[in-house]
Amino acid sequence: MPENTCLYCPKPALSLEHIIPAALGEFEHAPLLQDRICRTCNNQLGLLDEQMTRSGPEAFIRRYYNITGRPGHESVNPFYRGSAGGKRLEMKAFDPNLGFEILFERTDGDYRQLRQLVFIEQTSRKTGHIPIGEKMTPEELRAAYKRLELTPPLDMYVICGQEEMQWVQELVSATSPGTGFGPGSQGTKIYGSGTPVSFSLAERYFRAVAKIGFHYFLSQFPQYSGHEQKFADIRRYITTGDKDVNRANEFVGERKVPLVGEALGGARPHGWVGHILCADVTNGEYRAHVQTFICEDFQPRIYTILLGRSPHDLANSSAGHAFVYFRGGYHGKFAGEAHPLTPARFEFPPQPLTPVVRSDPSAEPDR
């Protein structure tokens, strides 16, 4: 393979790859992948990052810590819509004032009612919810209503702030002319924490994890170009994937042993928030390890990615970085700083991967 050829196609590799997705911010002194991927593949693989950071658990934690990503990128509220084929985040709880379940969102450091329509069947009391995004069209609202599959007659409730009521009612009227609105419309309320959040981990999510791990490995072990035959399967998985999310188990596993010493014994980082990336060559196996948003408020999964095997490569080596956010917010264009980690040497053989997807091929992705 000619030098500076894209990892994923025959085109020249003339782009700079930030290993941590842009939506998570840019980190000073972070390792980069220079001229390994063409611009076209770089842009296409950005869809994986979008689903991870806008539809996965990272989407919620970004909102929790008010991490906006790089300036100039479109801001997407993950509670109103998903991205790159991923579903939106959903927080649902019973509202004692209204007498039925409603959707919530995390915003401005607290939890509040989502702007939404709530439909309730008058006979069965079955409930359906439609989030109302700021740019929603009558056609989109009509399609969302059909997906609810509710049986009339229905009661409809509009949940939004008073300053939003006029345009929301106009949207409903444009979708269904002749709709009447009663006098008791409910304004937005703020609630405390405790509402559970659900999210879907689709196949693009795990491909994003695999891509981050693979690219980090190559940034730390420049003796490997990434074109080697032993990496052929991971390259193919990252670029093509599979509609069966269970295929992720062939490449991505869940690691139980913490990546950093501060997290040993079940402890959580004290006062800092960041991401941990590690990579190693151990007894003929090439692996990377990814943990996003290690912090004192959450206990995120640690993923291990099996990149390839070679029975002839028995040299053991490892590398790691902590991508830590600045406590006072952005410093110029940087959200934080990358710090090299000092690897601890253990001579244990690589452990089998623990499946990250525990469902049959016909089931919905893990929630």
154 pLDDT above the threshold of 90 = yes
What would the mean pLDDT of 259-268 be, rounded to a whole number? 69
Least confident of 162-166, 183-187, 273-277: 183-187
Long-range contacts of 69-74 (CB under 8 A, 24+ apart): 69/22, 69/23, 69/24, 69/25, 70/22, 70/23, 70/25, 70/26, 70/333, 71/333, 73/22, 73/23
In this predicted model, what pLDDT tens digit does every residue of 310-347 receive, in sequence order?
988 767 899 999 999 999 888 999 999 999 998 765 55
- Please give the residue that has the higher pLDDT: either 339 or 188: 339
What is the model's pLDDT at position 366?
41
What is the model's pLDDT at position 343?
77
How buried is residue 125: exposed, middle or buried, by Cβ count under 10 Å (0-12/13-18/19+)? Answer: exposed
Cα separations (Å) of 279 from 19, 115, 271?
Answer: 13, 43, 25
Buried b (16+ CB within 10 A) or exposed e, 85-121: ebbbbbbeeebeeeeeebbbbbeeeebebbbbbbbbb
Locate 288 and state its tokens: 């990377």
Helix ranges (H only) for the chain are 39-55, 57-65, 138-148, 165-175, 203-220, 232-240
Average pLDDT score over the chain: 87
Using DSSP's 3-state secondary structure scheme, residue 211 falls into: helix
364 pLDDT above the threshold of 50 = no
- Please give the residue that has the higher pLDDT: either 180 or 81: 81
What is the model's pLDDT at position 174?
95
In this predicted model, what pLDDT tens digit does every residue of 53-65 receive, in sequence order?
999 999 999 989 9
Locate 245 and state its tokens: 């999310």
What would the mean pLDDT of 146-173 be, rounded to a whole number? 93
Least confident of 5-19, 48-62, 255-269: 255-269
Say how many CA atoms lie within 13 Å of 251 toward its Cβ: 28
What is the model's pLDDT at position 363?
41
From 103, 91, 41, 44, select the one nearest 64 (Cα to Cα): 91
Instruction: State the Cα–Cα distance between residues 41 and 117, nearest whole angstrom.
Output: 39
Q: Which residue has the tokens 């893990």?
A: 366
Q: How would residue 365 be classed by pLDDT, with cut points 50, 70 and 90?
A: very low
How buried is residue 185: exposed, middle or buried, by Cβ count under 10 Å (0-12/13-18/19+)? Answer: middle
Q: DSSP characters for 225-258? A: -S-SGGGHHHHHHHHH--S-GGGGGGTEEEE-S-
109 pLDDT above the threshold of 90 = no
